[in-house]
Every structure is written in structure tokens, then in C-alpha cells.
């Protein structure tokens, strides 16, 4: 059975999990941490660092580092490093590659498939960009699922009682709230609201602006144009924010953050929890109305909520927790890790897909494993077509369950019109062009007729991955055209995805070769050290021969003769083993 990973690709941190038997389990990274910072650093030689190593390197060269790239998924945003533009998909793929490599090292097997989570309020373009990032990283992306739904699955895995969950997900870059009904293993999403540009990064920025102002007032120095200083200040602000979840005041210290005629100047500023709460109060309040709207859209009142799950690191802030209590008059659950529950739920979803062949996937959707949870998804945005006078004809309403299908009839607006184009939009505005354009559906060769006579049936089919297929059919001729909707404005072409995938594979191959070479160097260093310690002062008959082999080994190493290095390494290792066991 092919193993499928569950991945939470986060704005600030990312997590990967798998099913160990019947239990979802977090996979630690190569330094033993359960979460990996979503930071990418491009080195001068073209290689890439991800995670803690990237964070350390970024402190010296912030111009070569990228963080919070998730906020730009599905947009035209580019990062220029060494005159090369890097897309959000490409940068995100580096993070996914790191998670893939860590999982493969931990599990001792290839991990080629993944379920990747996204915010519930992500648009079609953002979801497709995430899928592209997974493909560039070398994954077969089996499913894109919503983060709140994944968290609910993780929470409800061993709970049999029926309940209504509110998942309040405030991460580094996005905010989601989902109302989910859990009944006998069925997770039905009742409503979704959110904001794709609200999160912990915005809280950090408020702290940074406060520290900048205080430092300028005290020292007369404006740090805002110094990128290295700003990176260090941002790191310090984030750390202080995290600390203030457990203490009421902390000291922000950034040594030698600026240089003056009198020498280096250190930023030292006390920051209290009260000050932090004042700085971010309006941002936290921006989550209140979407939460109330989600409850109302589900046809419920706050009293109907059984349990509240907090997801995302920003929900550890006491002011955020107090706001949630105020909304629903209920204490949030404390037995769910806000950092890990999304990846754990994705791993559960992955375990449902793992035993299925392609035919079963196509016909069964989510209801494929009677022993696993059944998920009933919602689309958070309406889907429709642009009509005459820029009107918006909605076919699939917001908060509709999917997979789903909807149809409507349209006609011509001019006499003897031979073609009709239907621009496809995503959004809630009555004016079509005010929504997000996704794609164009066009049907040609309509028989000439007076306006209003032709009957064109438009069908929208939304599959389990929330990918839309649109069809237009002329009911007079039965001619039919279809398009699988792709958010075309900022989407990478198949050729671009293929090129980036090849480049990523080449980069991984180079990194593996470098790692192999480094491992060999470490092995040689260790063996040489042991041999010198054992044989240099020994009068054993073997010592002279061993010292000659050691000399030959170092010569082969200097000449980069790998075959000779391996030969001498084996000889020296055998001699050490014999000497240390006195078995010769």
C-alpha cells in the first residue's frame, strides 16, 4: 500500500504527519523538531536552505530569504534574487521538498503522495497554486482539503458523541472560521467565513512598528530602511509576542542593531501584554463579525456550539482566546494542539485514500472507507457566469456542499448571434466583473436565430477537490463544449510546472550528492582520528602497516580518488576492528 503523507503547509510553520497503524503521528524534521519554519533561503551557489537553517542564514542576508510566501499564493507576486524571479509556487515547493525529504529519511521509504491542507477561505487560484507547488516538489497531490476540516477530523477521530464544532483558525497569514457538524463519523461543514490577509504576521508588524517608533524617539535613529535590522527586529517581535502568551511582560533586546559615531547601539525595550493587546486590538476584533456570520450562515446561535477548537499559533494569544469566549460564551478546548492538529487530520484523510485505486477514487469520492470519517465539504464562494450588462448569474451558491452539479438556461441578446461567451467568476458581488475571474467558456456555431430563441444550457460540476468543470450545450444542435476551470491570470502553465519540477529534482540530486560527500568526509575524519589515537603510539606489529594505510587514505582523499578512498577506508576499518577486539 502506497503511503500518503498529510501536510499542513503553513504561513509561519509547516508540519508533516503519517498514519502509524491507526494513529496519526507527527514526523520530526532532520533536527528533531515537530514543526518546520516556513522560511526559504537561496544561497549564492543556487542551493536552498529551509527551516531553522534558513532562519539563521537570513539573519545575515535577509535579501536572500523568503518568509510568509503563503500569503501570496495564487497571485502575480514574485521574489527577485540574483536577477531571477521566483514564484510563490516555486518557493512553497522548496518547503514541501524539505518535508518530503524529512519524511523519507524518517520512514526509510519513498513518499511520493500527499494530502495538503489550505485555509478554507482560499480561492480557486490559491488552491491550484498549492497543488502546483506540490507537483513541483515531486508529490502526487491526492487531495487539497480545508485546514479547519482537517483539525475537526483530528479532534473527532476517537470521539463518538454527536456535536457541533466551531473551528477558529488564526494562523500566521490567514483567518478561517468553520462550523462543522459531527454525527456518527460524518463531518458536515455547515458554513465558512474568513479573511485571507489577517494573521500573526499582522500582529508582528504592529509590534515592529511600536518598537521602531520607541527606538527612534529614544535614539533618534530610523531603522525602517535597514533590511538586516528590520529582519532582526521582526524576529524579536515575533518571539516577544509568543512569550507574552505566558508572561505579562518581557524585554525585547536586539544587540548592535545600529551603528553610530559612538559605536554600536542596542535596542532594549520592555513590552507588556497590555501594550501588545492594545496594539492588536482592532485586528483581533476583525475576526468577530466573520465568526458571527459563520454561525448565522449555519442557521445556529452561539449557544448551539458544542465545542470550540483553536487552530494556528496566534490562537495562543490570551486576547484572542478571550475574544472567542466572548463570542460563544464557551471555553475553547485545551486538548488539541493548535500547531499539529491540521497535519494530523490530513494524515487521517490520507489513510482513507491510501487503499483505493484510481477507479474507486473517481466513483466514490470521500465515502470510500466505511471505517474512516466521511467529509461533506462546502464551497465558501459562489460560482457563476457573467451576463449582459455585467450582471452575475450564480449557478452554485456560497456554502453549497460539494461534489455538486448545477444547471441553468441562457440565450442570445442579439439577432443571429453565432457564438456566446460565458466568463466564469467566483465571488458574491452582483456586478459580475467585481468578482474574481476564473476562466472563459465559449460555444460557437450557434444556428442563426432571432435573439432569445437559442437555448444554451450551462452546467457547473464541482468535484471533491473543489475543481470546477463548466459545460455549455446548445439544445437545438446538441453541440457541447467543456472547460476544466483554471484561474488563468496567475497560474503556471504545464510547461512552467514541468520546468520547475525538473529544476527542483536537479537541486535535490545535488543536495543528496553533497550530503553523501559530507557523510563520507565525516566517516573518514572519524576513522582517521581513531586510527591515529590507536596506532600512532602503539608498538603492535600491525601499527606500522596501519599508519601506511592511513597515509594512503589521506593521499587518496586529497586527490579526490573516491574508489581508493573507499578501499583504504575498508582496510583501515578492518584493522581497527581486529586490533580493538584483539582478534588477529
- Contact by Cβ (8 Å): 14, 7: yes
Name the active-site residue from 8, 124, 366, 426: 8
Cβ atoms < 10 Å from Cβ of 21: 7
Q: Output the nine-digit C-alpha cell for 400.
A: 453549497
CA distance 220 to 479: 73
169 part of the active site: yes
Name the active-site residue from 102, 124, 169, 204: 169
8 part of the active site: yes
Q: Which long-range contacts (CB under 8 A, 24 or more apart) does 405-409 make?
A: 405/459, 405/460, 405/461, 405/462, 406/459, 406/460, 407/457, 407/458, 407/459, 407/460, 408/457, 408/458, 409/455, 409/456, 409/457, 409/458, 409/475
Q: How many helices (H) and strands (E) does the chain have?
A: 14, 27
Consecutive H or E run containing 554: helix 541-558
CA distance 61 to 234: 14
3-class DSSP state of 405: strand
| Residue among 110, 108, 115, 106 at smallest CA distance from 134 | 115
80 part of the active site: no
Q: Output the nine-digit C-alpha cell for 33.
A: 523538531
Name the active-site residue from 90, 146, 147, 181: 147
Q: Output the nine-digit C-alpha cell for 215.
A: 527606538
The DSSP call for residue 391 is: B
Q: Output the nine-digit C-alpha cell for 147.
A: 485546514
70 part of the active site: yes
Q: Output the nine-digit C-alpha cell for 510.
A: 545535488
CA distance 365 to 349: 12
Sheet holding 468-474, edge to edge: 404-410, 456-462, 468-474, 480-484
Q: Name the H helices within 200-317.
A: 200-219, 227-243, 273-285, 288-297
3-class DSSP state of 423: strand
- CA 118 to each of CA 7, 121, 128, 176, 182: distance values in angstroms, whole numbers, following the listed order: 10, 8, 10, 10, 21
Instruction: Name the residue with cell 516538489.
Output: 137
- Residues annotated as catalytic (active site), given as ranges: 8, 70, 147, 169
Amino acid at each position: 500500500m502506497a503511503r500518503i503523507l498529510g501536510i499542513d503547509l503553513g504561513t509561519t510553520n509547516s508540519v508533516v504527519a503519517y498514519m502509524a497503524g491507526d494513529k496519526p503521528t507527527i514526523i520530526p524534521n532532520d533536527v528533531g523538531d515537530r514543526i518546520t519554519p516556513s522560511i526559504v533561503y537561496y544561497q549564492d551557489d543556487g542551493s536552498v536552505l529551509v527551516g531553522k537553517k534558513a532562519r539563521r542564514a537570513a539573519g545575515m542576508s535577509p535579501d536572500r530569504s523568503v518568509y510568509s510566501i503563503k500569503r501570496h499564493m495564487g497571485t502575480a507576486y514574485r521574489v527577485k534574487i540574483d536577477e531571477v524571479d521566483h514564484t510563490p509556487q516555486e518557493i512553497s515547493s522548496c518547503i514541501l521538498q524539505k518535508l518530503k525529504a524529512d519524511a523519507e529519511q524518517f520512514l526509510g521509504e519513498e513518499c511520493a503522495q500527499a494530502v495538503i491542507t489550505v485555509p478554507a477561505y482560499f480561492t480557486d487560484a490559491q488552491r491550484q497554486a498549492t497543488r502546483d507547488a506540490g507537483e513541483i516538489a515531486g508529490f502526487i497531490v491526492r487531495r487539497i482539503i480545508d485546514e479547519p476540516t482537517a483539525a475537526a477530523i483530528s479532534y473527532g477521530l476517537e470521539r463518538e458523541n454527536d456535536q457541533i464544532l466551531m473551528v477558529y483558525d488564526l494562523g500566521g497569514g490567514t483567518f478561517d472560521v468553520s462550523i462543522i457538524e459531527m454525527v456518527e463519523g460524518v463531518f458536515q461543514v455547515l458554513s465558512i467565513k474568513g479573511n485571507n490577509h489577517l494573521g500573526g504576521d499582522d500582529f508582528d508588524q504592529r509590534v515592529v512598528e511600536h518598537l521602531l517608533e520607541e527606538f527612534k524617539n529614544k535614539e533618534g535613529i530610523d531603522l525602517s530602511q535597514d533590511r538586516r535590522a528590520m529582519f532582526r527586529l521582526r524576529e524579536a517581535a515575533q518571539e516577544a509576542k509568543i512569550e507574552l502568551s505566558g508572561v505579562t511582560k518581557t524585554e525585547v533586546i536586539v544587540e548592535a542593531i545600529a551603528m553610530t559615531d559612538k559605536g554600536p547601539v542596542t535596542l532594549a525595550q520592555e513590552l507588556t501584554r497590555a501594550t501588545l493587546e492594545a496594539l492588536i486590538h482592532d485586528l483581533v476584533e476583525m475576526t468577530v463579525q466573520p465568526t458571527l456570520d459563520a454561525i448565522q450562515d449555519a442557521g445556529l446561535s452561539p449557544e448551539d456550539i458544542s465545542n470550540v477548537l483553536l487552530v494556528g499559533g496566534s490562537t495562543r494569544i490570551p486576547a484572542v482566546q478571550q475574544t472567542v469566549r466572548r463570542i460563544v460564551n464557551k471555553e475553547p478546548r485545551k486538548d488539541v494542539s493548535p500547531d499539529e492538529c491540521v497535519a494530523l487530520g490530513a494524515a487521517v484523510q490520507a489513510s482513507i485514500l491510501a487503499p483505493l485505486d484510481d477507479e474507486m477514487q473517481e466513483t466514490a469520492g470521500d465515502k470510500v472507507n466505511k471505517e474512516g470519517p466521511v467529509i461533506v465539504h462546502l464551497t465558501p464562494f459562489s460560482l457563476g457566469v457573467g451576463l449582459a450588462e455585467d450582471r452575475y448569474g450564480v449557478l452554485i451558491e456560497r456554502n453549497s456542499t460539494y461534489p455538486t452539479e448545477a444547471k441553468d438556461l441562457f440565450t442570445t441578446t442579439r439577432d443571429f448571434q453565432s457564438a456566446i461567451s460565458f466568463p466564469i467568476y467566483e465571488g458574491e458581488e452582483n456586478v459580475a466583473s467585481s468578482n474574481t475571474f476564473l476562466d472563459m467558456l465559449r460555444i460557437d456555431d450557434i444556428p442563426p436565430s432571432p435573439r432569445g430563441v437559442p437555448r444554451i444550457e450551462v452546467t457547473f460540476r464541482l468535484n471533491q477537490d473543489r475543481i470546477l468543470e463548466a459545460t455549455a450545450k446548445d439544445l437545438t444542435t446538441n453541440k457541447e463544449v467543456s472547460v476544466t476551470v483554471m484561474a488563468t491570470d496567475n497560474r503556471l502553465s504545464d510547461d512552467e510546472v514541468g520546468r520547475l519540477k525538473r529544476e527542483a529534482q536537479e537541486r535535490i540530486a545535488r543536495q543528496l550528492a553533497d550530503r553523501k560527500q559530507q557523510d563520507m568526509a565525516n566517516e573518514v575524519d572519524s576513522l582517521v582520528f581513531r586510527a591515529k589515537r590507536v596506532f600512532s603510539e602503539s608498538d603492535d606489529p600491525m601499527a606500522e602497516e596501519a599508519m601506511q594505510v592511513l597515509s594512503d587514505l589521506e593521499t587518496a582523499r586529497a586527490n579526490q580518488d573516491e574508489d581508493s578512498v573507499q578501499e583504504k577506508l575498508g582496510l583501515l576499518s578492518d584493522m581497527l576492528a581486529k586490533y580493538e577486539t584483539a582478534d588477529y
